[in-house]
Structure 1
Amino acid sequence: MNELTKDSEQLLKEIKKHIHESEYWANKFSMLNSKGNTILRGCFKELKDKQMISVQWADNIPYNIVVLKDGYLYEKMISMRSNNIDFHEHMDKCIFISHSTADSKVAELLSSYLIALGIPSDSIFCSSLPGNDVQFNIPNEIKNKLKNSVLNIAILSENYYESAYCLNESGVFWYVNTDFILISLPEITHVNMKGFLDKNNKLRNLKNELDVFFIGDTALNTMNISRPNSTILARESEKLIGEYNLFLKNRQKSDENKIDLDDFITDDVKIIIYYLLLNRMRKAKISDVKNWLHDAEVYNVNIDSAVDLIETSNSGNIKNGYIELNSDVFVKLIRNRDYLLKQFSSVIEEYTKLSSEIFLELWNNDKMDDCLKLFVAYIVDERITFFGDRWMKDEQIKSISSWESKNSIINILSENYSSCLSYFIREDFVYPSSWTEYGNVRGYTLNNSLVSLFLENCAQLLDELNRVKEDYYLDLPF
């Protein structure tokens, strides 16, 4: 960092003093003569060229001035240089706070406290890495910060001990010859400390005023920063303790509402809970849940068993074809909605079997006979999505016969409709959607993914469909 001329140094101080006064520079320039105007503009240019400030001009007046990092540090650099202190070596010094992401709020409170005591924010490094990621290599940025750290602070918690990153950092704390402070959350005591930082080390508590004072004093001393007056120290310490107590209170409420995935005994239960949370519903019609499973092509799910388990576990009740969760259960679930949806989505994927993917695999491997291919041609041409069975079968066969006649195709499909429908039922390409008054299935609906494939994205099928239609073309003698 290069030294400024005296005029530019004075201007930098003036900019900092009036940084929030929008009309200050317009008034100042209006009172300058030509020589003063030229000198002042030269000083602005020097500050900009030396990256002390950024500035924008309008009508020859600076209107948007931002003091950059070197501008804020300039006076400190000059003071240290006069005392033969290496500025850059000093500026690399930092306080390293190791913590789990799940405890980032505590790290934030601690950082705010240290900044309020006079420690520059860019001299505090919080690792803030994902608390439970299973990774074992400390990134280069963290290595560099650990190397330049003059004080290491670890915020110990259950989350901390579950993090491979945090355990690696604690190993470095133990190994290097750098002062460190251990702050424990309520669940960590000398009895259950793990790893390198064991019970032989003192634990500090952010609820304890003496511990908070110790942390502040140690941080200031290691950074060679003067202690603020006792009023400021007492005020900021009291603020930290109050905010930390509030954090613990909210944390306890969060723990009370925490969901244990073992509470959900079966995948069937998880899937019905997924549906309710997805739609933010406490009460749902059981038939709607089943229709959703059909639409989403989720198979082998026993919804009746799931709702029975929910009722017998006193988590909800079944009445008039509806499943309704108890209000306390629903509140607990909805507070964890994003987490549960993410966890249960993998269960949904496990039971999802898209008909279109199964169909294409069979089609591309030539596992379908010509009669089935004609059935697909009929569906594509006539845009059919419903297939009648039992007494409704006759109407479907009439529709097929009409299509065969229109396309001059031998009546092979109309004579084999039942076997084609049976194949689609067996492969789960269709699902029951219409019943007789006695509860017997009388009609089936094509699964959504096949509707999309046959009616909207069938280009890859057309050559083979046209081929089979030509092969069964009925060449009439007239």
Structure 2
Amino acid sequence: MKILISHSSQNADYGGALVKLLTGIGIDHDSIIFTSDTSYGIPVGENIFDWLKERITEKPFVIYLLSPQYYSSVACLNEMGAAWIVENQHAMIFTPGFDLKSDYFLNGAIDPREIGFFLNDEDRVTQFIESLRGPFKVTDNQVLIGNKRREFMQDIARLFSVSSVNNPRKKTTETITAGTSHKEDAIPPTVSPASTEPDNQARKVKKTPVERYFQDLADDKLKDGEVMVIYYAAETAQYKLGVGWRTNEEVGRIRKWEELNDLGDTLSKDYETVISRLEIRNLTEVSETTSYGNPRQVMLSKEMQDELMDLPDDFYSRCDKIAKLAAEKKNSLDSDEIPF
């Protein structure tokens, strides 16, 4: 059996990282079909459509690398339909930030109720590797698997960060808190006929937790740590955060990220308090527990995850301000040191 990575050419970098992971854990080079790399793609002189059609009829294990670009490609959708008809074994893998509630996903050929996973979900990636042991030869060296998985997560985080930089951030906080793509599209307040009081003329619409978060950002009501934890999640593509006995491990990763980006220690020094505040704001949910039922990992709400790909400009302005103050504080402390 071969592995066919069905993907959009615009997501070739993500697919390449996946190929690197698969070969790194022992899967044979010749077992992988990845058309964005000539060494894994269509032989010279072959008709692309006939060759792919023949490979699909051989019933390979299909990895659907799903993204908005995938669903906007006629060729990708044809490939999906062809593979689905012959009832291949398959796995759905989503690029970071993919919208699971999108119409194109919910109405596609693949059943949206099936279990898929995001490229930056380390636990699911681990399960996926183990699931390949049946039809494919995967190394038994757990240390090697751990190293390759770690490299893969780093590659995905880097690619996600680069794609975020290359896509201009067009949102503003006002558009997010309005719950629409343009401020002028917001639904006007409903006038209550039962009251003539000015304060009661508009019916208040209850904001979602994410809308409240960005409204508090606009009103300068957020603690610095509450801002930096979302910045950390967005820049590292890390939606899951360690808590409980995993707190020290997560703080260690945060410190490395802070040092690498010269951000001070705003988040790492107050991490547990920040997580508690996110919980109070209903921006997290427990995603993993210990055998005793104690939380050891929380995940940002799906609503917040959806915003990480396109955070507003004033969010980044606040992050820059926090980083600048942290640097000034550090320089001040360094200048106050008494030489020996």
Output the TM-score relative to the length of structure 2.
Answer: 0.43
The structure with the largest helix share of the pair is 1
Q: Which one has more relative contact order, counting CA pairs under 8 Å at least 6 apart?
A: 2
Output the TM-score relative to the length of structure 1.
Answer: 0.31
Point out the structure with max Rg over C-alpha.
Answer: 1
